[in-house]
Each structure stands twice: as C-alpha cells, then as structure tokens.
Structure 1
Amino acid sequence: MSARVLFIGEGSSDNGLVPHIESIAVRKGLDISVTVPDFGLLRLPTGHSVPDKLGAIRKIGGNYDLAVVQRDADRGPAQDRRDEIKKAVDAEWPGLRHVAVVPVRMLEAWLLLDEACLRRVAENPRGRVDLDLPKGLAAENIADPKQLLKESLARASEYKGRRLAQFQKRFSQHRLRMLELLDPDGPVSCLPSWQNFITDLDIAFEILDG
C-alpha cells in the first residue's frame, strides 16, 4: 500500500518539489502517492495561510500519512516558520505527521546556485554571458533572490525587445522547471535549508516504513 502524502506549497510553482519528494521515497524503498491540491480549482473560501489551506483540505475529506508543507523563511529565522507550521498542523489537523520545508530566505535561493540548470531553462544552454551568481552559502544572504533569479534568467537568455518581454512573462513556468530539474546532489546540497529538507523527509519516511 502506498503512503499518502499531502504537499502544500506557497504557490503552484513550488510543486517542482514533488519529484524530489518522490525520489527520496524511492531511495528509501517506500511507495508513496503525493496529492497536490489546486486551491484555485477547488474554489474554497480559504486564505493563503497554512491553517486556511490545511483546514480547507481537511473539510473536503481524505486521509494522509504525512503532510509536507513549504514556507519560505523570508526575513525571519527559519525556526519561526517551522514553529508556525507545527502550530497550524496541531490546530487544524491534530495527529497528522508533517515535515516543514523552509528555504532561506526564499526558495529561489536554491535555484541560483545551479548555473547550468539556469542557462538550460533560459533556452540558451551554451550561453557565455557572465551571470555573477552567488556561490555556496552566499545564496541565502541575497536580499531578494526571486528578483535576482528573474534578472539572471533574462540575462542568460540573451533575448532582446519583444522576445525578452514574452520570455519574462513565463517566469513562474521557468521557476517550476528549474525546481524540477534541480540536481539534489549539486551545488544546492551545501545549503543547510536543503540538507534539513532531505534529512527531515528521510526520517519521516523511515517512520512511515517502520
């Protein structure tokens, strides 16, 4: 029987984390089924907070063995987000096991480290324009990694004028694709927030498989 996993991200482009969740389960020898609710299609009267999303999903039914909840740390300590997620689960779905995924400061910091992936998604894999991307832990100190990722994709594409404008409109798709293609053993593996994501899932899957 498959373990039932509920994934809740901040937005639809965070769904690129799902293949990584599935690959970790495969490595652990665990069969899982991941549900990714589309809150837009559900048209439920929910807000954007974790309690709102959990409450809405619980109301429509379904049983889950594990919830994986992603929230960016933004400008606060990562532990604050972990505490926020735990409080939400305890209040809205008592007894549901969960894993908190908390990128520092934003999930885009993880993507800035993989230059080859960025150039590929920018549709110019052999480009040589200097991107001046952060290295290692410096990625988590960027004030606005989302904006830097947008700018870096545009620069890497080397598009101009109308073609560049059309390219930039697809940023959410590019972000999703980058996350799907992200090498879990590549440069991102040096970041504590990524290491915590992998370790916490490993532990949760071991418990489910026990």
Structure 2
Amino acid sequence: MTVRALYLHEGPSDTGLRFHIEGIAGEVGREILVTVPDLNRLPNKPGHSVVDKLRAAQQLSDGGHAYDIVIIHRDSDRERPDNRRREIAEAVAAVSPDLAHVPVIPVRMLEAWLLLDQSAIREVAGNPNGRTPLDLPKPTRAESVADPKALLKQAIATASEERGRGLQKLQKRFPANRARLLEMLDREGPVKHLASWQAFTDDLREVLGSSR
C-alpha cells in the first residue's frame, strides 16, 4: 500500500525535505506519495500557525481524508522542542484527530542542519575547490548557534570568495542555494548525529511502520 503523506513546511525553500521523506520511506520498504501544497496560492492565505495550515490543507484535500500521515515542519526558534511537539500534536488533534503525524523540529531553525557539510556549501557557492576556512560549528555545537541562518549565509559568501557585485548577486540567490543544500543533505553524514534530525527520522520510521 502506498502511504499518502502531506508535508507542511515553513517556507518555500524547505520543500526539499520531501526527497528525504521519500528516501527514508524507501529505506524501510514503504512506497510513499508526498504532497507539498503551496498554501500561499489560496485566495485566503492561511496564517502561520499549525492549525491554520492544517485547516487550509484540509480544504484542498476533500475534508482531510486524502492522507494517511501529515509531516509538519516547525522550527523551534526560541521555544523548547517539547513545546513545539506539543503544539503540533494539539493542532492535529483539533483539526484532523484521526491523522497520524510526524513533527519536524530543527533547533533553532533548519539551517542548523545545513551547516555541517563544507563541500556542499562550497559547491553551492560556486567554488568547490576553495580552501578559505569557513569556521563552521562541529555537529555537537550546530544546534547551539544563535542564528544559524546568518551563519550559513556568511559561510556561503566566504566559500565563494566573491567580492563586490558578484557577492551581491550570490547573496540574492541565498534562498535558492539554501533549498539546494537541503536537497543535497547527506542523511548518513554529520546531520545524523543531531538530536532534532534523529527525532524526526525515528518518528517517521515509527509512523511508517505502524501505517501498514
């Protein structure tokens, strides 16, 4: 049986996580169809809360019965991950109580997952053979970075070794480069040591195993 999954993300450059959802499903022997709706295309754009997004997705899915599981990305930001897990669980219980769910809660934000692969950062920066030190955190420190988005943006700029207008053009491409880094993320690389990634993948495997 093909598992029908709904993936609700925080921003358009987060859509690449679907490829990892599909890959993990394949690793546990499950076929999965992941739908990533663009809720901003709706006439009445939903709010940023999980409840708002779930209700909007429900409108697009004939009452919410089109899916077996929902995978919800919510950065922890300044909240404790447990608070985000509770927020997601309560939202699903309120809107689609019969729907299994998987929380995706990077600490503090998803960019922390993208700070660990120097070669990928150099590649998206357009300078794969560069040697300029990037001063990236070790895996044990990645989830303690105060602003991983700013650090990732700076790391890409440093890796590029661009100056002037070239650097300005590169900085404008940051959302696209971030999206590419997420797609390139090595599930067997350093990210597998991060607690937030482990929680996501463990939860996904558990839900896939129980949805047979």
Of residues 136, 153, 156, the one that matches 1:153 is 156
Q: How far apart, in 1, do the equivalents of 2:44 and 2:210 lie?
A: 32
Partner of 2:21: 21
Query: What amino acid sits opposite 2:77 in the alignment?
Result: D
Which residue does the alignment assign to 2:174?
Answer: 171
Secondary structure of the 1:4 match is strand
- Corresponding residue for 1:124? 127
In structure 1, what is the equivalent of residue 52 of structure 2?
Answer: 52
Q: Is residue 193 of structure 2 the alignment partner of residue 190 of structure 1?
A: yes
In the alignment, the residues of structure 1 paired with residue 42 and residue 51 of structure 2 have an alpha-carbon distance, to the nearest angstrom, of 16
Opposite residue 176 of structure 1, the aligned amino acid is A
Structure 2 residue runs of 5 or longer lacking an equivalent are none
Aligned runs of 1:54-203 on 2, under 5 Å? 54-62=54-62, 63-203=66-206
Q: Separation in 2 of the partners of 1:70 and 1:145?
A: 17
Q: CA deviation at 1:197?
A: 1.1
TM-score, L = length of structure 2: 0.96
In structure 2, C-alpha distance between the alignment counterparts of 1:27 and 1:45, rounded to whole Å: 36
How much has 1:44 moved relative to structure 2? 2.9
Q: TM-score, normalised by structure 1?
A: 0.97
- Aligned-residue sequence identity (percent) comes to 52
1:40 maps to which residue?
A: 40
- Alpha-carbon deviation of 1:48? 1.5
Q: CA RMSD in A?
A: 1.0
Q: Deviations over 1:52-101 (max 9, x none)?
A: 11001112324100000011111221000000001111111111100001
Amino acid in structure 2 at the alignment position of 1:107: L
Deviation at 1:199, TM superposition (A): 0.7
